[in-house]
């Protein structure tokens, strides 16, 4: 399976560096810079299409992003963002301060509103579910995308917080 992922467009909470997790936050107004990046990514997507599945998490920010890209998506809850529990609506720096090096060195030991181990299990189920689809496009979230990149590169997600994926970033994972 070739998996192309686009992280949702920025929200006000992204701009404030607040953790969103499962909160159903809408995207912000589209700036000229974001619009240009959408156009650039659309050219890339044209070169990678057709897609057997176009998916988005159950959260509206991914569906809004897909619509601005011109796609209608199937909802796939396995793509949902990590549940940050009590840290949702809080600056990311506060959570990192709470967990220290554990956040970057051994996140699978952390339990928030959802364990990070459970996030890895969702990724494994996602890969198994779509492994026979040659070409998948998914609109998703930062933690999920960082986790699957870590899983593909290292066989686990413990390096996910050493990876950066910005809003509206498009990445393709080959042979997943």
The residue written with tokens 């399976």 in the block is: 1
Q: Is the pLDDT of residue 6 over 90?
A: yes
pTM for this entry:
0.95
Mean pLDDT of 154-168: 96
Cβ-based neighbours of 165, under 8 Å, separated by 6 or more = 7, 142, 145, 146, 149, 171
Residue spans per domain, the chain: 2-173
- 66-116 pLDDT, tens digit per residue, is 999 999 999 999 999 999 999 999 999 999 999 999 999 999 999 999 999
Report the topology of domain 2-173. Answer: Rossmann fold (3.40.50)
CA distances from 48 to 11, 78, 117, 166 (A): 27, 23, 31, 21
- Rounded to the nearest integer, the mean pLDDT of the chain is 96
DSSP H helical ranges for the chain: 12-16, 32-48, 60-68, 92-99, 102-105, 116-130, 142-154
CA distance 65 to 63: 5
Q: State how far Cα 170 lies from the chain centre.
A: 10
- 116-158 pLDDT, tens digit per residue, is 999 999 999 999 999 999 999 999 999 999 999 999 999 999 9
CA distance 123 to 103: 19
pLDDT at 126: 98
């Amino acid at each position: 399976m070739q998996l192309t992922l686009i992280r949702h467009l920025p929200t006000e909470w992204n701009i404030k560096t607040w953790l969103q997790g499962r909160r159903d936050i809408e995207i912000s107004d589209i700036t000229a810079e974001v619009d240009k990046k959408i156009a650039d990514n659309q050219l890339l997507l044209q070169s990678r299409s057709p897609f057997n599945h176009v998916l988005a998490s159950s959260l509206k920010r991914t569906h809004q992003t897909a619509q601005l890209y011109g796609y209608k998506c199937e909802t796939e809850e396995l793509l949902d963002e990590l549940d940050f529990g009590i840290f949702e609506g809080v600056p990311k720096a506060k959570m990192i301060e709470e967990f220290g090096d554990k956040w970057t060195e051994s996140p699978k030991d952390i339990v928030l509103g959802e364990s990070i181990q459970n996030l890895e299990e969702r990724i494994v189920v996602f890969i198994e579910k779509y492994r026979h689809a040659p070409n998948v496009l998914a609109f998703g979230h930062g933690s999920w995308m960082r986790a699957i990149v870590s899983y593909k590169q290292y066989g686990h997600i413990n390096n996910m917080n050493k990876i950066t994926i910005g809003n509206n970033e498009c990445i393709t994972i080959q042979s997943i």
